[in-house]
Chains A and B, each alone.
Chain A
Amino acid sequence: MTADLAIVAPAAAPVPPAPSLAVRAQSLGLVFDADGQRTVALDNVTLDIARGSFVSLIGPSGCGKTTLLRAIADLERPTSGTLVVNGTTPERARRDRAYGYVFQAPALYPWRTVERNVMLPLEIMAMKPAERRARAARYLDLVGLGEFRRRFPWQLSGGMQQRVSIARALSFEPSLLLMDEPFGALDEITRDGLNLHLHELWRRTGMTVVFVTHSIPEAVYLSTGIVVMSPRPGKVTEVIAVDLPAARDLDVRETPAFLAVAHRVRTALRAGHSYD
């Protein structure tokens, strides 16, 4: 196991956040209480995510991986334990606009052009118009959609729309990128292309990425570390480091080293899942 990702044993006293950590969760619990129905979405989750790493959360439906991501984003409130994001509380991190969030669907506003969708967070953050346009152009070029900036979202394919939403999340240059199954609704060929793209993007920017996925190959291909989770109650069963070269192309998926990691992830998933 590498040093950039490790399970930290629950400490007796809250440990001051280490500056090298993007996210630190300690004994995190989150219980939904709706109409007398108690659902334990997260149970005693302890996890460190180092700055600059690419960490995937993988597990079957209901294992709390999306809930964990949403808690990091301050879209859900943990009911117990501590959660530190960028050295501060999730709410403070959100107010500091420390993270960009990419949802399962592109969530573009259909009445805005592609360019104006990317400029939306910049408008809200009161950036000057000239700077907004420059940023939008830069990040649309980065995801390869520069020439589509005057189009409307519904004029683009699903994969292109999701790339726009990635450009939108990158436009204000957050240090942390949270992605909730961003490619889940796309076909495999589009998905491969976007994985390649995202991997290069991460290598170039050096940002921290937390990535929720269902797909083992996707997780292994993209990640420096994989967090395997199991459902009812949602908890972390294993953290697997990915010892693959940082520069990867899609062919790495055929190598023995890749298959060995994939096998470990599959075994961990099976151990945590009782098929009930």
Chain B
Amino acid sequence: MRHHVLPVVVVLAAVVVLWYAAAVWLNYDTAQNLADDGASRWDIVAATMQQDRPLLPAPHQIAGELIDSTLFRPLASPKSLLYHAGVTAAAAALGFGFALVLGVLLAVGIVHVRTLDRSLMLWIIASQTVPVLAIAPMVVVVLGNIGLTGTLPKALIAGYLSFFPITTGMVTGLRAPDPMQRDLMRTYCANGVQVFTRLRWPASMAFLFPSLKVAATLSLVGAIVAELPTGAQAGLGARLLTGSYYGQTLQIWAALFAAAILALLAVAVIDLAQRALVRRRGGRL
């Protein structure tokens, strides 16, 4: 990893420079309107990076907002970004758990039961063409009516969005063993459970982990989207919503970055699990 640091830093620096340029360009008009008559061009440029509600906040403003709202607020306070990130992360993690169980079970059924293979896949694909923005409010409202609020409805949306890559990845993975590897099991007269636990399941791991990484990011998206329609009080989605109501662009951008950081953390955790498995397998998945 170490020798990859320089290219990453170069790209980051380029993004930051472009970002500052874009911030100056987009915020210049408002800064000019607010400026005193005698303000020089450089004063206005400097002002584009200090606004309370800029069209595009400068990177240091977002960083400041991120630090301020995570480190300098009590954890239980609704002003703490950590609190909101925690609420969303809990829903996403639960949804990811649902997706993992459902996705694997569906894949096992599709691989082993011919009728499920023919009937189920079509519905699974169809389910993914329904926009989650259309489904999420219905699910949240209906579940709210029967007394289910908070994390569970959001987790269901998150799971709905993220089971699909797990199912498709696992269907491919469980079918990955070649005819010779399967014939071998037949010569031993192995039963279905033995073929599954000793051949299909271990062979599918190389397909499971990439799917899990996609599913983890999708479940975060699902949890955030599920927080939007009902005007939820807590969560990164709620921060995005209130931010846009009150024109708090800094708050919006800080929430977006918090979501991105959460996704990176989730992928890193899955990567750790993958590395542990690779180590047990002598260096290959």
Contacts of B262 in A (CB 8 A): none
Per-residue A-contact encoding for B167-202, CB less than 8 Å = 1, 0 else: 000000000001011011111111000100011001
| Interface-lining segment among B83-91, B222-230, B244-252, B276-284 | B276-284
The main secondary structure of chain A at its interface with chain B is: loop
Query: Which of B's residues lie within 8 Å of A, judged by CB?
Result: 178, 180-181, 183-190, 194, 198-199, 202-203, 205, 281-284
Q: Is the CB of B199 within 8 A of A109?
A: yes
- Chain A 94-111 interface residues, beta-carbon cutoff 8 Å to B: 94-95, 97, 99-101, 103-105, 107, 109-111
Contacts of B194 in A (CB 8 A): 124
Instruction: Note all chain B residues with C-beta closer than 8 A to A97.
Output: 188-189
Could you list some 30 contacts between A and B, CB below 8 A? A73-B187, A74-B186, A75-B183, A75-B187, A94-B186, A94-B187, A94-B189, A97-B188, A99-B187, A100-B187, A104-B180, A107-B178, A107-B181, A109-B198, A109-B199, A109-B203, A111-B202, A111-B203, A111-B205, A111-B281, A120-B198, A121-B188, A123-B198, A124-B190, A124-B194, A125-B188, A151-B282, A152-B281, A154-B284, A155-B282
Using A75-B187, A94-B187, A152-B282 as known contacts, say yes or no to A103 and B180 having CB atoms under 8 A apart.
yes
Q: Which of A28-61 contact B (CB under 8 A)?
A: none
Known: A152-B282, A155-B282. A101 touches B187 (CB 8 A): yes
On whether the beta carbons of B190 and A103 are closer than 8 Å, the reply is no
CB distance from B196 to the nearest CB of A (A): 12
Within 8 Å of chain B (Cβ to Cβ): is A113?
A: yes
On chain A, the residues within 8 Å of B187 by CB distance are 73, 75, 94, 99-101
Q: Whole-angstrom distance from the CB of B157 to the nearest CB of chain A?
A: 35
Q: Provide the residues of chain A in CB contact with B178, threshold 8 Å.
A: 107
> Closest approach, in angstroms, between the C-beta of B111 and any C-beta of chain A?
18
Q: How many angstroms from the CA of A153 to the CA of B9 in the assembled complex?
A: 39
Which residues from 75 to 131 on chain A have a C-beta closer than 8 Å to any C-beta of chain B? 75, 94-95, 97, 99-101, 103-105, 107, 109-113, 120-121, 123-125
A152 touches B283 (CB 8 A): yes
- Tell me, in angstroms, the Cα distance from A264 to B14 when the chains sit together: 77
Q: A203 CA to B184 CA in the complex, in Å?
A: 25
Complex Cα spacing A187 to B178, Å: 24
In the bound complex, residues from chain B placing their C-beta under 8 Å from that of A95 are 189
Q: Which residues of B lie under 8 Å from residue A109 when comparing CB positions?
A: 181, 198-199, 202-203
CA of A26 to CA of B264 in the docked complex: distance in angstroms?
66
Q: Are B284 and A152 in contact (CB under 8 A)?
A: yes
User: Given A97-B188, A124-B194, does the pair A107, B202 have CB atoms closer than 8 Å?
Assistant: no
| A96 nearest CB neighbor, chain B only | B189
Q: Give the size range of A's interface with the partner.
A: 20 to 34
What is the interface of chain A, defined by CB distance below 8 A to chain B? 73-75, 94-95, 97, 99-101, 103-105, 107, 109-113, 120-121, 123-125, 151-152, 154-155
Given contacts A95-B189, A109-B199, contact A103 B281 (CB under 8 A): no
Complex contact A113–B282 (CB within 8 A): yes
User: A97-B189, A124-B190, A155-B282 given as contacts; is B184 within 8 A of A107 (CB)?
Assistant: yes
Contact assessment for B184 and A103 in the assembled complex, using a CB-CB cutoff below 8 Å: yes
Whether the pair A103, B198 counts as a contact (CB closer than 8 A) is no
Most A-side CB within 10 Å, residue of B180, B181, B189? B189
Contact of B283 with A124 in the complex, beta carbons under 8 Å? no
Which residue of chain B is the closest to A120 with respect to CB atoms? Answer: B198
Q: Taking CB as reference atom, which chain A residue is nearest B177?
A: A109
Q: Is the CB of A110 within 8 A of B284?
A: yes
B180: contacting residue among A94, A107, A120, CB under 8 A: A107
CB distance from A84 to the nearest CB of B (A): 18
8 tightest CB-CB pairs across the interface, nearest first?
A: A152-B282, A107-B180, A101-B187, A124-B188, A111-B202, A124-B190, A121-B188, A111-B281
Query: How far is it, in angstroms, between the C-alpha of A75 and the C-alpha of B186 when the chains are bound?
Result: 8
Instruction: Please give, as numbers and ranges, the residues of chain A lying within 8 Å of B186 by CB-CB distance.
Output: 74-75, 94
* Nearest CB in chain B: distance from A101 CB, A: 4
Not counting A105-B180, A124-B189, A124-B198, a sample of 8 additional A-B residue pairs whose C-beta atoms are within 8 angstroms of each other reads A95-B189, A99-B187, A101-B184, A107-B181, A111-B281, A112-B202, A124-B194, A152-B282
